[in-house]
Amino acid sequence: MAKINEVLKKHNLPVKKIEKIKKVTIIDTGTVKYVYKDGKIDEKILEYLKSRNFDYMPQLIENGEYQITKYIECLDIPNEQKIIDLIKLTALLHSKTTHYKEIDLDYYEGIYSDIDNNLNYSYTYYTDLITIIESKIYPSPSEQFLARNISKIYDVITENKKRLENWHTLIKNKTRQRNTIIHGNLHLDHFIRNENSYLISWNKAKIASPIFDLYKLYINHALDFDFKPILKVYESIYPLTEDEKKLLYILISMVEPIKRQENEYETCKYISHVIDRIYKTEKLISPEAPKEGKKQ
Task: Render 123-161 in DSSP notation, one character per residue.
Answer: HHHHHHHHHHHHT-SS--HHHHHHHHHHHHHHHHHHHHH
Per-residue pLDDT tens over the stretch 212-266: 999 999 999 999 999 999 999 999 999 999 999 999 999 999 999 998 999 999 9
The CATH 3.30.200.20 portion of the chain extends over 2-71
- Give the model's confidence band at 290: pLDDT under 50 very low, under 70 low, under 90 confident, else very high: very low
Residue 17: partners with Cβ closer than 8 Å, 6 or more residues away: 26, 28
Domain 99-285 sits in CATH at 3.90.1200.10
Please tell me the distance from the alpha carbon of residue 224 to that of residue 229, in angstroms, as a whole number: 13
Output the pTM of the full model: 0.91
Parts of the chain belonging to CATH 3.90.1200.10: 99-285
What's the fold here for domain 2-71? Phosphorylase Kinase; domain 1 (3.30.200)
Measured CA to CA, the distance from residue 35 to residue 218 in angstroms comes to 27
> What is residue 66's predicted lDDT score, i.e. its pLDDT?
86
